[in-house]
Structure 1
Amino acid sequence: MMKEVRETTLPIVKMAKENEEFRHVIWTGDNTQLVLMAIPAGGEIGGEVHQGHDQLLYFVEGEGEATIGETKVSVQAGDVSIVPSGVFHNFRNTGSVMLKLYTTYCPPEHAPGTEHETKDQADADE
Structure 2
Amino acid sequence: MKEVDKTTLPIVQMAKDNDEFRQVLWTGDNTQLVLMAIPEGGEIGGEVHEGHDQLLYFVEGSGEAKIGDTTVAVQPGDVSIVPSGAFHNFRNTGSAMLKLYTTYCPPEHAPGTEHETKKQADADE
TM-score relative to the length of structure 1: 0.99
The share of aligned pairs that are identical, in percent, is 86
4+ long deviations beyond 3 Å: none
Q: Spell out, residue by residue over 1:33-92, the C-alpha distance to the aligned partner (whole angstroms, 9 max, x if none).
A: 000000000000000000000000000000000000000000000000000000000000
1:7 paired residue number? 6
CA distance in 2 between counterparts of 1:44 and 1:123 reads 12
Q: CA RMSD in A?
A: 0.3
The within-5 A match list for 1:90-101 is 90-101=89-100
Query: Whole-Å Cα distance in 1 between the matches of residues 102 and 5 of structure 2?
Result: 17
2:31 and 2:18 map into 1 onto residues whose CA distance is 20
Q: Which residue of 1 aligns with 2:33?
A: 34
Counterpart position of 1:45: 44
* Runs of 5+ consecutive residues of structure 1 not aligned to the other structure: none
Q: CA deviation at 1:11?
A: 0.2
User: Is there any run of 5+ residues in structure 2 with no aligned partner, and where?
Assistant: none
Q: TM-score, normalised by structure 2?
A: 1.00
Return the alpha-carbon distance in structure 1 between the equivalents of residues 10 and 116 of structure 2: 21
Equivalent residue, structure 1, for 2:73: 74
1:113 match: 112
**How many pairs align?**
125
Q: Which residue of 1 aligns with 2:19?
A: 20
